Structure 1
Amino acid sequence: MLDIEVIEDPAAAEASLDPIRTRILQELAEPASATQLAAKVGLPRQKVNYHLKALESHGLVELVEERKKGNVTERILRATAASYLISPAALASVAPDPRRFADRFSAFWLLALAGRTVQEMGKLIAGAAAAKKKLASFAIDGEITFRTATDRAAFAEELGVAVTRLVDKYHDGGSGTPAGRAGAGATAAGGRKHRLVVVLHPALKAPKNPTELKEKDQGND
């Protein structure tokens, strides 16, 4: 079972968004039969079987084992992943494409880059899982508080310069030579390209405590 599976097929995406099927996928984090699931989700076994067949046909559920119970064969199933993410590829021609425009100060371009990351990582994870290999990746997540918009702009500028310097230092422009010293038109021979995306955006404000809101409202009465 994968930690996260990215869904690219539109029909599979539609199937996964059904509330009942979402609940079934959640319950199938642990292997179970249709009978066991029926008791958990409060539906007739026949209806659960209907949803299981749909999920299995789209590759979201997999067979773990079959158990003989008298004249009946009980199928034990589980979800293919603990969590799912729908790829922009499922939206086909209306999916965001960062190649349509490039504006490093555009929130929409940031979204397009994030969508491409989901799509590419989904393919890479699936490929690594099929080959039974570990996928090499790296990510940093954090928060920073800027006193002014000027500070934020200065930080972004310095970050861009620092990243460019690192790329110049480590990028293989051909024959193992860093880009800054590679000849014109040189290409990396045997090197593996990596995608580099750096983003900076405002953090969401934490939701106010319901108790504090209630006390404030009472104080205004």
Structure 2
Amino acid sequence: MLDVAVIEEPAAAEASLDPIRAGILAALAEPGSATMLAARLGLPRQKVNYHLKELERHGLVELAEERRKGNVTERVYRATAASYVISPIVLAAVSPDPARSPDQLSARWLLALGSRLVQEVGQLLTGAARAGQRVASFGIDAEVRFASAADRAAFAEELARSVAALVGRYHDESTPAGRTHRVVVGLHQVPTTTAPRGPATDTPAPTPPAPPAPPEAAQENRR
């Protein structure tokens, strides 16, 4: 079972979004038959069996084993992954394009960057899985609490300068065997269930210096 599987087919995405099928996928973190799932989910076995066949058809579940019980063969299924991500490629015609309105201070642009990241990394993972290879990647996840909007602005400026310096130091346009990577750095408030003390747009930060424009640097190898 994979840790994460990326869904790139519209029909598979539609199948995974059905509430009953999503419940079956969650239940199949541990292998089970239609009879076992029916008991777990409180559904008729025939209904579970129908949805299992649809999930299997789209590659979201797979046969784990067959058990012979008297004259009956029980089919035991498992989910193909512990969790699933639907790639924006499913909505390719209307997915956000970061090249459309690049704006370092725009939350919508940050969302477009994230969408592209999911799409590209998903394609890399899918290709690597088929080839039996691993994807070389690197990620940083951190939280920082700013005392003021001015501190946030200063942080953004310093971060932009640091990234620009690193990109300029290591980018090599002339190496024939080199691989282009993409670097994505984002900064956003952590959503909370309580109202923040001030608006998210308090004292807009000045536009940080843009890094040089090498061929898009990245978090994942392009394969």
Q: TM-score range by the shorter chain?
A: 0.7 to 0.9
How far apart in 2 are the matches of 1:207 and 1:65? 48
Q: Tell me how far 1:157 sits from its aligned partner.
A: 1.1
How far apart in 2 are the matches of 1:112 and 1:189? 30
Structure 1 stretches of 5 or more lacking a match? Answer: 175-187, 209-221
How far apart in 1 are the matches of 2:131 and 2:16? 26
For 2:137, give the aligned amino acid: S
Aligned match of 1:196: 183
Q: Tell me how far 1:136 sits from its aligned partner.
A: 1.5
Greater shift, 50-59 or 95-104, is seen at 95-104
Q: Tell me how far 1:207 sits from its aligned partner.
A: 4.4
Q: Tell me how far 1:126 sits from its aligned partner.
A: 1.8
Greater shift, 105-114 or 29-38, is seen at 29-38
Q: Kindly indicate whether residue 169 of structure 2 is the aligned counterpart of residue 169 of structure 1.
A: yes
Number of residues of Structure 1 aligned to a counterpart in Structure 2? 195
Q: Report 1:2-17 matches (<5 A).
A: 2-17=2-17
Q: Tell me how far 1:163 sits from its aligned partner.
A: 0.5
Three-state SS of the structure 2 residue aligned to 1:85 is strand
Q: Report 1:87-106 matches (<5 A).
A: 87-106=87-106
| Structure possessing the higher relative contact order (Cα contacts under 8 Å, 6 or more residues apart) | 2
Output the TM-score relative to the length of structure 1: 0.83
Q: Kindly indicate whether residue 159 of structure 2 is the aligned counterpart of residue 159 of structure 1.
A: yes
How far apart in 1 are the matches of 2:45 and 2:107? 47
Three-state SS of the structure 1 residue aligned to 2:104 is coil
How far apart in 2 are the matches of 1:29 and 1:9? 22
Three-state SS of the structure 1 residue aligned to 2:83 is strand
Greater shift, 146-155 or 29-38, is seen at 146-155
Using a 3 Å threshold, how does the CA distance of structure 1 residues 35 and 115 change in structure 2: closer, same or farther?
Answer: same
Deviation per residue, 1:61-112 (Å, 9 max, x gap): 1112222333322211111111111111112311111122211111111000
Three-state SS of the structure 1 residue aligned to 2:93 is helix
Greater shift, 93-102 or 108-117, is seen at 93-102
Output the TM-score relative to the length of structure 2: 0.82
For 1:29, give the aligned amino acid: A
RMSD of Structure 2 on Structure 1 (CA): 1.6
Aligned match of 2:125: 125
Identical aligned residues as a percent: 65
Deviation per residue, 1:135-184 (Å, 9 max, x gap): 2211111111222222211211111111111111112222xxxxxxxxxx
Q: Kindly indicate whether residue 69 of structure 2 is the aligned counterpart of residue 82 of structure 1.
A: no
Aligned match of 1:65: 65
How far apart in 1 are the matches of 2:130 and 2:20? 29
How far apart in 2 are the matches of 1:122 and 1:74? 34
How far apart in 1 are the matches of 2:177 and 2:150? 43
Q: Tell me how far 1:206 sits from its aligned partner.
A: 5.2
For 1:205, give the aligned amino acid: T
Using a 3 Å threshold, how does the CA distance of structure 1 residues 51 and 112 change in structure 2: closer, same or farther?
Answer: same
Q: Kindly indicate whether residue 23 of structure 2 is the aligned counterpart of residue 29 of structure 1.
A: no
